[in-house]
């Protein structure tokens, strides 16, 4: 069953096209990563899906409801977590959740809030002011508010920005647990490790979808070749390599350089003079998702 199925989704602001005829589908229980550089149209797309913005063009359904004519019904069945913490900082965790419960007319309020606090591990902090929480606990409060009304779809807009790795992992463990229970998730993120935890990914830039599929499919379809280099003087080597035709990317990863190119033969010719140096070790490696995304971003920027 398709929880999201839209075609030709388009939105402009002040004459500038922000989302340009996007087609998107997400199946029930699926976690789809929505990726792309800042300003690529991710947030605008999410807001159109949940009924907060009306598309200029396009059609489709969200939760089986028409995105153009039934946006009010969609809002009641979606959990939307925004980029910025949007709860009252001078209220406690419990008070914030009680407020949200009343907005959704959930009854009995105390019982619903008690269950949500327990589910998200917030019981011991329920009387703490939201404004005093760390990024990870604010994130957990936001997620609690999103799932309290038992939505069928979660729309998460960069939910882990500014959160430490442990809190991010715990967050994703919870997302996968929810997905296992049938909840559908569309999540925008800049973190490659998070993208790799999604069932599928969709990459957009300048309002257009330019790659989609599983992580393996996106990496394979990029047709990049990657060489790994270790040895002395890598910083100077990187500067030399960046100037050579046939090399599209040079990036440092600890004590290793990733040297990436679209044309395997041209890349081989570009690195050939350096492979004879006794102070360097070269080996062909696997192209990473980050390598692919940098290549996609470079392609959009042009020469």
Residues in a beta bridge with 32: 186, 200
| Amino acid 86: pLDDT | 83
Q: Are 241 and 247 in contact (CB under 8 A)?
A: yes
Domain spans, the chain = 2-218, 225-286
Instruction: Give the predicted TM-score (pTM) of the model.
Output: 0.90
| Amino acid 300: pLDDT | 53
| Amino acid 270: pLDDT | 97
In the three-class reduction of DSSP (H, G, I as helix; E, B as strand; rest coil), residue 173 is classed as helix
Give 190-199 contacts, CB < 8 A, sequence gap 24+: 190/35, 190/158, 190/161, 191/160, 192/288, 192/289, 192/290, 192/293, 194/33, 194/160, 194/168, 195/33, 195/35, 195/289, 196/289, 197/31, 197/33, 197/172, 198/31, 198/32, 198/33, 199/30, 199/31, 199/32
Q: Are 243 and 250 in contact (CB under 8 A)?
A: no
Tell me which fold the domain 225-286 belongs to.
Alpha-Beta Plaits (3.30.70)
For the stretch 128-155, pLDDT in tens is 999 999 988 999 999 999 999 999 999 9
Q: How far apart are the first and last CA of the chain?
A: 42
| Amino acid 85: pLDDT | 81
For the stretch 20-46, pLDDT in tens is 999 999 999 999 999 988 889 999 999
| Amino acid 259: pLDDT | 97
CATH ID of 2-218, from 2.102.10.10, 3.30.70.1140, 1.10.1740.10, 3.40.50.300: 3.40.50.300
- Could you report the average pLDDT of every consecutive run of 10 residues in the chain (303 residues)? 96 95 96 92 95 94 96 94 88 96 95 95 96 91 94 93 86 93 94 92 94 96 96 94 95 93 96 94 94 81 41
């Amino acid at each position: 069953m398709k929880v999201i199925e839209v075609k030709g989704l388009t939105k402009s602001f002040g004459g500038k096209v922000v989302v340009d005829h996007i087609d998107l589908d997400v199946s029930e229980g699926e976690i789809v990563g929505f990726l792309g550089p800042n300003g690529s149209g991710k947030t605008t797309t999410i807001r159109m899906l949940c009924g907060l913005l009306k598309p200029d063009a396009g059609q489709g359904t969200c939760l089986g409801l028409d995105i153009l004519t039934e946006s009010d019904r969609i809002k009641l069945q979606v959990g939307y977590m925004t980029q910025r913490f949007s709860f009252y900082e001078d209220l406690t965790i419990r008070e914030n959740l009680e407020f949200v419960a009343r907005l959704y007319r959930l009854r009995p309020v105390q019982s619903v809030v008690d269950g949500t606090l327990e589910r998200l591990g917030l019981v011991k902090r329920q009387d703490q002011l939201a404004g005093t929480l760390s990024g990870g606990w604010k994130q957990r409060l936001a997620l609690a508010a999103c799932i309290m009304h038992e939505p069928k779809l979660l729309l998460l807009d960069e939910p882990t920005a500014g959160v430490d790795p442990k809190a991010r992992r715990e967050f994703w463990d919870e997302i996968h647990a929810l997905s296992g229970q049938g909840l559908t998730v569309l999540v925008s993120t800049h973190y490659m490790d998070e993208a790799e935890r999604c069932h599928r990914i969709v990459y957009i830039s300048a309002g257009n979808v330019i790659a989609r599929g599983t992580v393996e499919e996106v990496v394979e379809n990029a047709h990049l070749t990657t060489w790994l280099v270790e040895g002395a003087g890598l910083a100077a080597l990187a500067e030399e390599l960046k100037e050579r035709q046939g090399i599209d990317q040079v990036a440092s990863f600890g004590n290793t350089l990733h040297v990436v190119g679209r044309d395997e033969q041209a890349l081989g010719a570009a690195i050939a003079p350096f492979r004879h140096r006794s102070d360097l070790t070269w080996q062909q490696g696997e192209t990473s998702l980050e390598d692919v995304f940098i290549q996609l971003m470079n392609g959009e920027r042009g020469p």
